[in-house]
Amino acid sequence: MLRYLARKLLWTAPVLFAATTCAFLVLHLIPGDPVNLMLSGRPASEKVRENLRAKLGLNRPLPEQYAHFVLHAARGDFGQSFATGQPVSQVIAQQLPASLQLAGSGFLIGVAGGLLLGIAAGLYPNTVIDGIAMFIALVGISMPGYWTAMLLIYVFGLRLGWVPIVGSGLPVLILPSIVFGSYAIGNLARLVRSSIIDVRGEDYIRTARAKGLPERRVVLRHALRNALFPVVAMMGLLLGLFIGGGVITETVFARQGVGALLVTSILTKDYPVVQALILLTTAAYVFANVLVDLLYGVLDPRVRYG
Amino acid sequence: MSKMRDGRLSRRSLLGGAAAAALAGSALSELVSEASAQGRADAAVTWGEDQDYATLDPRVTQSRHEAQAIMQMFESLLFLDTDGKFYPWLAQRWEYSKDGKSIMFVLRRDVKFHDGTPFNAEAVKFTFDTIVDPKLGSQGAIDFLGPYKSTDVLGPYTVRVNWTEPFAAALTNLSNPWLLSIVSPTAVRRLGNDGFARNPVGTGPFKFVEWVPRVRVVMERNEEYRWAPRVFRRQGPAALRRLVIRIIPDATTRVAALEKGEIDVCDQVPPIEVRRFQGSRDFDVMVGDVSGIPLSHLINTQAPPTNDLRVRQAYMYAINRPQVVQQVFFGVAKPAYGPITPTTPGYWPGVEKMYPYDPAKARQLLDEAGWKVGSGGIREKNGRPLEIHFITLLEPDLEVAVQAAAKEVGIKLNVETVTKAKQDEMVMHAQYNIGEIRWVAVDPSVLDIPFFSRNIPAPGKFKFNWSRYGSPELDRLLRQADGQVDVKQRQQTLAQIQKYVLDRALMFPVHVSAQPIGFRRIVRNLKFAQGYWQVLFYEATVS
């Protein structure tokens, strides 16, 4: 088990290195001068542009910039944001709590809602319950996030006035979490449904019924446990997605967060911030998947790590 | 009072026929606001802002959005009101030298920075000297200082600012409250440049409290404040106890937050929402007709087919500006006819007669240029269709309306929506016929930027003369206006420049940028700052 874990974690190093190198290259290959983008169309003089290039170290050759980046990144120093001059670690640290909050609550809502709908639909396939559950799932998957967000703001924020729109405190988390979770609800519900339907046809379910177990026990102990494997894999992917993927939710609800930070930084070519964020999200993905592997072992006695 | 005078009526129409009505109107609203001038002493107001902030240092910023916060906390030597007049502010008196290369300022003696540092001649010198230091990385202020040479401290409260050549924009630029405002030297030395950008210390009516990146900037009343310029009827500390800038990039969310009362004032209200607010009981909108360069199409004079003057002119005659602008902005923005807007000093009204909507003339010009109507109504010459490549980034909706108008006379306008990065690349490599620009500016010297020959872009050099037109004559006129300290003479030169630019069809001005500010009616006495983009909160009250 520990050896397995160590090997997995060791493998993340080259993955992270490859991801950041790709990010560095792609960022420098696509057109656009960070200084011009930073000035965002303002009529600044050549003097301003030269000063900024020198200040940001952009007048150095590319290989030198890359070597500088790798050597410092290895020591955990990602330099300073072009836009604000703050250390990148500080810029991200300011945005990360809000992201984790949203990812956490969105994930909870997504998993709870997805499991509930999926189980209901899977236990009563082709009934009205199934129809309603799958309709909700379909809406969750196909409604674009910004549209759901605007509807929720209009109905619950403005007309009914139940929740704040951009205020502060915990209630302000409600609408964004629903928007954020709705995609996961849809995805999980459909997966859980089909995997329950699959499992219900298995021999061991018939055996469990035949030996006279109550239906509740059949469902919870036998059907659900086995139906959960694909779901756990899916949750791993979603968790990774959630940590970096809140762009639309963050923008519409005017929240802090690394998703919107990443997009702004890419558009303005704030290299140091982008590189650090790519590293962070890649790491999140990798660790979420290692976590899922381990969880498999807990759920499935057949899985052994050697 | 501010709403009437600043929002709906431009300075020019005040001077014109509407004077009587405007006077009556402002007298009435003055009575009303006098009654509520005190308001609630503990009031807090939240402004909904559409763009995120990167710095709060006036010496560094280039953003008119950051300016909204900066100008509540900082002050400059002079105050330039929207009526175009200069008033004493941190400087009590000023005097140009005979050669027009320096100005002497006598400063107020009773001013203190928020950190207790006394304001004096040293602070002025420190501010200007650090702006030109390349290490600071100034993005706006350094250009506003122009051909800056030095600042001499003549006494504890007397300074002389020197330029290497006569600098006509000096007074206007030195009155800018968010670029050339004076910073506390002690605070800069203590915090360093990057630290100061996040803990700004000025002399203004509001003090910095907190900045939560991407969320809000919080300010509170400066209780020591006693040095407001005389343009304000209020003197002493501001009426509001607290002022919050809340960053809300999404326009729909911003408007919803205003309607719910989570914010009190909202910038950039979408034009389609403006009428709804104007007719409502609880809300109102004031619209700023922004000074500077209107939203304009710069036409490439080097690339075919727009290298032909007749094609450029035909394009300008073909588009019915009042109609297009009405369609897209529902009456919120006004059509523009010249390279600077009517609220900019030096505006020459002659531009309004130069390119009226005249599709017949457009067709005639194209016929003369050899472009004959071909299949599908698009004109052709030597087997090639009349295609104009238009790159858009700022206002794609508008350009689609323009596209339809151009088609009427047989021009195929290929509108390509691009990102900023892509646009810059195409501009530097001359891969376009038309590009869009618009800037908020208070001094007409902004005309240098798109028209000086040294500003023609080249690979690796991103600049703004996108017409790619350079002539010694135009350069001479621009340089002359920049150095003309005499206002009347400068006005004449500026008129020549505006005519020159349109005669050669280098630029097609489309509409004046509009800043519709929505606010709850309980908030009163909001005042547009110079340029008609930002709002000054010093006088604001809540009833």
Indicate whether B1 pLDDT > 60.
no
Confidence of residue B12 (pLDDT cuts 50, 70, 90): very low
Mutual orientation of helices A88-123 and A128-142 as an angle, nearest 10°?
160
> What percent of chain B has a predicted confidence (pLDDT) above 90?
81
Contact assignment for B262 to A47 by CB distance below 8 Å: no
Sign of CA dihedral B372, B377, B382, B386: positive
Contact assignment for B422 to A31 by CB distance below 8 Å: yes
Q: What does CATH list as the number for B292-512?
A: 3.10.105.10
Which chain A residues are within 8 Å of B464, Cβ to Cβ? 43
Contact assignment for A52 to B137 by CB distance below 8 Å: yes
Which is more confidently placed, B74 or A101?
A: B74
User: What pLDDT, on a 0 to 100 scale, did the predictor assign at position B19?
Assistant: 39
Dist. CA B18–CA B259, nearest whole Å: 33
Closest CA of chain A from B37, distance in Å: 29
Which chain B residues are within 8 Å of A158, Cβ to Cβ? 256, 259-260
Which is more confidently placed, B386 or B486?
A: B386
Phi, psi of B56 (to 5 degrees): -120, 20
> At B161, is the secondary structure helix, strand, or coil?
strand
Length, in residues, of chain B: 543
Of the listed ranges A18-22, B26-30, B493-497, the one predicted with least confidence: B26-30
Confidence of residue B75 (pLDDT cuts 50, 70, 90): very high
* Ranges of each domain in chain B: 15-22+40-288+515-542, 292-512
Indicate whether B20 pLDDT > 50.
no
> What percent of chain B has a predicted confidence (pLDDT) above 70?
92
Are B101 and B484 within 8 A, CB to CB? no
Contact assignment for B214 to A157 by CB distance below 8 Å: no
- The tokens for B371 are 């472009």
Compare CB distances from A157 to B260, B425, B450 and report the shortest one's residue.
B260
Query: For residue A206, how many other CB atoms are within 10 A of its CB?
Result: 12
> At B450, is the secondary structure helix, strand, or coil?
helix
* Ranges of each domain in chain A: 96-299
Nearest CA in chain A to B447: A43
User: What pLDDT, on a 0 to 100 scale, did the predictor assign at position B38?
Assistant: 53
Q: Is B306 exposed, middle or buried (0-12, 13-18, 19+ CB in 10 A)?
A: buried
Dist. CA B513–CA B23, nearest whole Å: 26
Q: What angle do CA B444, B448, B451 make, to 5 degrees?
A: 120
> What Å distances lie between residue B333 and B251, B327, B369, B488, CA to CA?
17, 10, 34, 30
User: E strands within B282-326?
Assistant: 283-289, 292-299
Task: Count interface pairs A-B at CB distance under 8 A.
Answer: 143
Closest CA of chain A from B194, distance in Å: 6
User: What pLDDT, on a 0 to 100 scale, did the predictor assign at position A39?
Assistant: 81
Indicate whether B399 pLDDT > 90.
yes
Segments in B74-150 forming alpha helices (H): 121-131, 141-144
pTM equals 0.86
User: What pLDDT, on a 0 to 100 scale, did the predictor assign at position B3?
Assistant: 37
Contact assignment for B248 to A44 by CB distance below 8 Å: no
Indicate whether B396 pLDDT > 80.
yes
Dist. CA B475–CA B468, nearest whole Å: 13
Which is more confidently placed, A201 or B225?
A: B225
Q: Is A293 exposed, middle or buried (0-12, 13-18, 19+ CB in 10 A)?
A: middle
Contact assignment for B464 to A43 by CB distance below 8 Å: yes
Fold of B15-22+40-288+515-542: D-Maltodextrin-Binding Protein; domain 2 (3.40.190)
Per-residue pLDDT of B441-484, as tens digits, reads 999 999 999 999 999 999 888 889 999 999 999 999 999 999 99
Dist. CA B74–CA B21, nearest whole Å: 35
Are A234 and A111 within 8 A, CB to CB? no
Residue of A118, A259, A289 lying closest to A188 (CA atoms) = A118
User: What pLDDT, on a 0 to 100 scale, did the predictor assign at position B55?
Assistant: 94
Torsion on CA atoms A286, A292, A294, A297, rounded to nearest 10:
-150
Indicate whether B422 pLDDT > 50.
yes
Nearest CA in chain B to A32: B421
Of the listed ranges A1-15, A266-280, B116-130, B244-258, the one predicted with least confidence: A1-15
Are A276 and A148 within 8 A, CB to CB? no
Which chain A residues are within 8 Å of B214, Cβ to Cβ? 95, 255-257, 260-261
Q: Which CATH architecture has domain A96-299?
A: Orthogonal Bundle (1.10)
Low-confidence stretches of chain A (pLDDT beneath 50): none
Average pLDDT, chain A: 85
User: What pLDDT, on a 0 to 100 scale, did the predictor assign at position A228?
Assistant: 80
Contact assignment for A32 to B248 by CB distance below 8 Å: no
Which is more confidently placed, B117 or A69?
A: B117
Dist. CA B253–CA B259, nearest whole Å: 10
DSSP state of A246: -
**For residue B305, cis peptide bond before it (omega within 30 degrees of 0):** yes
Model-level ipTM above the cut of 0.85: no
Dist. CA A269–CA A42, nearest whole Å: 16
Indicate whether B15 pLDDT > 80.
no
Indicate whether B35 pLDDT > 50.
no
Confidence of residue B21 (pLDDT cuts 50, 70, 90): very low
Dist. CA B388–CA B233, nearest whole Å: 53
Of the listed ranges A42-56, B113-127, B239-253, the one predicted with least confidence: A42-56
Length, in residues, of chain A: 306
